[in-house]
Amino acid sequence: MTQFLDVHELSQFVRNMGPQHLMAKLVDYLEQDYLNWAKFDKSARLAAHSDVGVIELMPIADDQLYSFKYVNGHPSNTAQGLPTVMAFGVLAEVATGYPLLLSELTLVTALRTAATSAMAAKYLARQDAKTMALIGNGCQSEFQSIAFHKLLGINEIRCYDVDYAASAKLKANLDCYTDLRLVICESAHEACASADIITTVTADKRLATILTPDMIAPGQHINAIGGDCPGKTELHRDVLTQADTFVEYEPQSRIEGDIQQLPEDYPVTELWQVIAKQQPGRQNDHQITVFDSVGFALEDYSALRMLYEFTQQGDSELGQTLGLIPHLSNPKNLFGLLVNPDGDTGQFKFQPLNTQMTNSQTKPSEPTSFSKSNRPVAV
Ligand SMILES: NC(=O)c1ccc[n+]([C@@H]2O[C@H](COP(=O)([O-])OP(=O)(O)OC[C@H]3O[C@@H](n4cnc5c(N)ncnc54)[C@H](O)[C@@H]3O)[C@@H](O)[C@H]2O)c1
């Protein structure tokens, strides 16, 4: 049966494991999948835009697994008591199309985005980086902070948000990380001064300029997360022109990233090329590097693949079984569900990933015979 992970179960799981441990593990999955770049059937995500936001579908597949994520981005949502970003997704087996996992992905998106940022910074930030400016202190900010603190050794975060309450929430949520110094700044300028890394993770559906060239210094790495949609940017174009820019999947980033402001021939390097050692990452301590992140389907694929493997471990209590797909004794008799609604729809144990089904699972049973008592009611 399909495994199901809801928000409650997943947050409990992440709390028990520790977000830093989960993100460290996720970086391993991400690197593995980025190294297999050529094996994936990739496309830019499909976006439905409105004046206030966007709803996107993000599919990807290799020859074993297919995944997609449904995700939105509505910066005005928080004023209505809803998160800016909400998501769920599916992992399916390519050989049969059977959905293996249906999972909440709002929390997972924050984890995978922060894990991807930390992975990119491993190749692009200076080795001696110790301080990070964090502009935008909403839902993603704690995850970014923990990933950079625990995976890269950042020990001071200088945060700024137009909404002071968001910064205060961030500081309170990270109180338990006693080795991490969190400084609330009064402006983005103040936060960026002398920072080794700058993370921008704001939400505003317009061509914003959170970072201007006067805020940038040689040797910095810029982790730009919030410019991820046509007409929605964070970096002044001249921040990009004085930097070397790295992206996830160029065809999608040209449409959605901060590089949408620049001509089509502005040079960028795809992250997988750096991970695969085909292109250099940071080359010296003076270079300015930008990770112009928009979020790519491969990152959700990696996260779903990891979560599904967690549900399949022998002693795992993670995941509930979900009757999403009918189990038919005779796979040609879908109508049988209406004839005998209490049939064997609930007990099917799907064996995914190259394992053969047993004869008893595949063998068609005798066709269901109609009797007057179990004849379906016409609707
Ligand atoms: N690249 C990716 O993979 C990826 C993944 C997830 C989210 N995102 C993007 O990251 C952004 C943040 O997401 P979130 O879930 O944290 O949103 P959120 O609404 O919870 O937080 C955004 C914060 O930005 C602040 N802000 C807005 N304009 C600002 C400005 N000019 N200066 C300083 N702060 C400002 C808001 O006050 C808010 O606290 C969104 O734009 C989202 O689309 C990108």
- Kindly report the three-state secondary structure assignment for every residue of 31-94: HHHHHCHHHCECCCCEEEECCCCEEEEEEEECCCEEEEEEEEECHHHHHHCCCCCCEEEEEEEC
Residues 103 and 150 in one domain: no
Size (the chain), residues: 379
Active-site option among 228, 244, 258, 292 = 228
Expressed in angstroms and rounded, the spacing between residue 110 Cα and the centre of ligand 1 is 11
Residues 142 and 283 in one domain: yes
pLDDT of residue 343: 57
pLDDT of residue 236: 97
Expressed in angstroms and rounded, the spacing between residue 252 Cα and the centre of ligand 1 is 19
Residues 281 and 303 in one domain: no
pLDDT in tens, the chain (379 residues): 999 999 999 999 999 999 999 999 999 999 999 999 999 999 999 999 999 999 999 999 999 999 999 999 999 999 999 999 999 999 999 999 999 999 999 999 999 999 999 999 999 999 999 999 999 999 999 999 999 999 999 999 999 999 999 999 999 999 999 999 999 999 999 999 999 999 999 999 888 999 999 999 999 999 999 999 999 999 999 999 999 999 999 999 999 999 999 999 999 999 999 999 999 999 999 999 999 999 999 999 999 999 999 999 988 889 999 999 999 999 999 999 998 766 555 455 556 655 333 333 333 333 333 233 332 333 2
One-letter amino acid at 328 equals L
State which residues form the domain around 72.
2-107+299-322
Expressed in angstroms and rounded, the spacing between residue 120 Cα and the centre of ligand 1 is 19
Residue 376 lies in a domain: no
- Residue 226 Cβ < 6 Å to ligand 1: yes
Residues 9 and 33 in one domain: yes
- Write out the DSSP string of 314-350: TT----EEE--S---SSTT-TTHHHH-TTSSSS----
Residues 90 and 198 in one domain: no
pLDDT of residue 103: 98
> pTM of the predicted model, to two decimals?
0.91
Residues 103 and 208 in one domain: no
Expressed in angstroms and rounded, the spacing between residue 226 Cα and the centre of ligand 1 is 5
Active site residue 228: yes
Residues 272 and 311 in one domain: no
- Residue 113 Cβ < 6 Å to ligand 1: yes
Residues 226 and 265 in one domain: yes
Pocket test for ligand 1, best of 55, 139, 201, 271 (most atoms within 8 A of CB): 201
Residue 366 lies in a domain: no
Residues 191 and 230 in one domain: yes
- Residue 72 Cβ < 6 Å to ligand 1: no
- Residue 200 Cβ < 6 Å to ligand 1: no
- Residue 137 Cβ < 6 Å to ligand 1: yes
- Residue 3 Cβ < 6 Å to ligand 1: no
One-letter amino acid at 50 equals S
> At how many degrees (to 10) do helices 19-35 and 141-152 cross?
80
One-letter amino acid at 149 equals H
Residues 271 and 138 in one domain: yes
